[in-house]
Amino acid sequence: MKYFIKRVGFMALTLFAVCALTFFLMNVIPGGTAELVLKHTFVGLEESVTDEQLNQISDRYDLDDPLYLQFFKWVKEAVLKGDIGTSYVFKKPVLYLLALRLPATIQLAVVSMLIAILAGVSLGIYSALRENKISDHILRIVTLFGVSMPGFWVALLLILIFSLKLKLVPVTGYGSLENLLLPATALSLHSVAAVMRVTRTSMLETLGQEYIRFAKAKGLPIWKIVSRHALKNAMLPVITVIGFQMGSLLGGTVVIEKIFAWPGIGSLLVDSISARDLPVVQGCVLAIVTMFLFVHFFVDILYTHLDPRIRYG
């Protein structure tokens, strides 16, 4: 219980710090928020904005208050009423917009993480069992490229090959497996390489232990040694890197969703930053950071169950 309370308190402090930093950074960007709100309210507004209009918008959204007062009003509304604001551009509650976009982001992140876990762990085990063989060297070279290549470059390369040249899958879209294939692959490639490297290193270390050599001496088949004895102990550092990679995937969705026109929180965040729609930016950052923290919290709890030394140490 003490550990649980400590982790929850850390999560709350992190959320507060991230929201405060986002709020103040968005407000130091050059350009008046009230003027931008007016331009988005009246699309195609070409005449100059009057002082009276600016004052009306400032009064409506309390934009004349000091920044710290605006922020604490936002925190009060969010904590006590669950209201994190209304979009300047869409004129709808931010929670409504997040509810529309969140399923798409979760779908993309979960599928990408499943690809990373299944491919990374499988290839890592295979590479460890084939240590210093040709296949091991090839996988290590491929892994090096996977870790080094940025996600946006991989996305553009996949579009060029599989969409424009081979015409196997569409470039953009949402709602089908074909639409999900390219963005999930582009998002997961870096994580596949990272998980594979850690799995290979951890598996090699585990396979060199005395109890593994004893199991080999007893004549147990290698698949049984790996599945029953080596895999569980080798997975501890792998679980840690999977948790970090899940956070990386949530951050990577911002770029990948924009490239593939995926209707998730990442693309909404980019559009909102461009429009300086502060309530939506705050909401998107809050949602992404919350998911990131919950993933790490789950990994920490899982780690204590897999390694009793952490629970009782």
pLDDT at 258 over 60: yes
3-state secondary structure of 195: helix
In this prediction, residue 97 has a pLDDT band, given cuts at 50, 70 and 90, of: very high
> Looking at residue 34, what is its pLDDT?
57
Do both 196 and 286 map to the same domain? yes
Do both 140 and 78 map to the same domain? no
The token pair that represents 125 in the structure block:
């085990």
What distance lies between CA 161 and its chain's CA centroid? 26
Beta-carbon contacts of residue 35 (< 8 Å; ≥ 6 apart): 49, 54
Do both 79 and 135 map to the same domain? no
Domain boundary among 83, 109, 126: 83
Q: Tell me the average pLDDT of the chain.
A: 82
Determine the Cα–Cα distance for residues 112 and 263; give it in Å rounded to an integer: 16
Do both 216 and 122 map to the same domain? yes
Could you tell me the CATH number of the domain that includes residue 241? Answer: 1.10.3720.10
DSSP strand E in 199-259: where? none
Question: Domain for residue 290, yes or no?
Answer: yes
Beta-carbon contacts of residue 279 (< 8 Å; ≥ 6 apart): 84, 85, 86, 87, 88, 94
Question: Domain for residue 4, yes or no?
Answer: no
Do both 202 and 67 map to the same domain? no
Domain boundary among 53, 83, 113: 83
Do both 125 and 254 map to the same domain? yes
In this prediction, residue 183 has a pLDDT band, given cuts at 50, 70 and 90, of: very high
> Looking at residue 172, what is its pLDDT?
83
pTM exceeds 0.85: no
Half-sphere exposure of 105 (CA within 13 A, CB side): 27
Nearest to 124 by CA among 62, 192, 52: 192
Do both 193 and 47 map to the same domain? no
Question: Domain for residue 32, yes or no?
Answer: yes
Do both 120 and 238 map to the same domain? yes
Q: Could you tell me the residue range of the domain that residue 120 belongs to?
A: 100-306
